[in-house]
Amino acid sequence: MINICQKILCPYFGEQGHNYGCQRYSRSGECHLQSITQLQDNEYALYTNDEAILTSLKIENDRFFLEDTKYAEDLEFQQEYPDFFNERSFKVKEIQRVQQ
């Protein structure tokens, strides 16, 4: 099984400790990517066996967040108030390219 959220570098996917899993939705099954295609999920992440769909999911995920006001507000808040976050705090990541 491929962890989609991790593989496409979703900016709301937490990879460590108490911040593991989706930090945007209360359950990963509520993710906007579920409207594109039915994906396997648990409370933490979305999964697939089909590596061929990862590129299209990455494109759609990036498009969604670049148009999303909450994402923009979260990034701005982090930049304005860096002292509110410690090394264990989850911080929304900027959109990143997937390394081939």
Model confidence at 99, pLDDT cuts 50, 70, 90, reads low
Q: Is the pTM of this model over 0.85?
A: yes
Distance CA 100, CA 97 (A): 9
SS3 34: helix
Q: What is the pLDDT of residues 29-39, one digit of tens each?
A: 999 999 988 89
Burial of residue 81 (number of CB atoms within 10 Å: 0-12, 13-18, 19+):
exposed
Q: Residue holding tokens 């945007």?
A: 24
Longest dimension (CA), the chain: 41
Q: Is the pLDDT of residue 88 over 70?
A: yes
In this structure, are residues 71 and 11 in contact, taking their beta carbons and an 8 Å threshold? yes
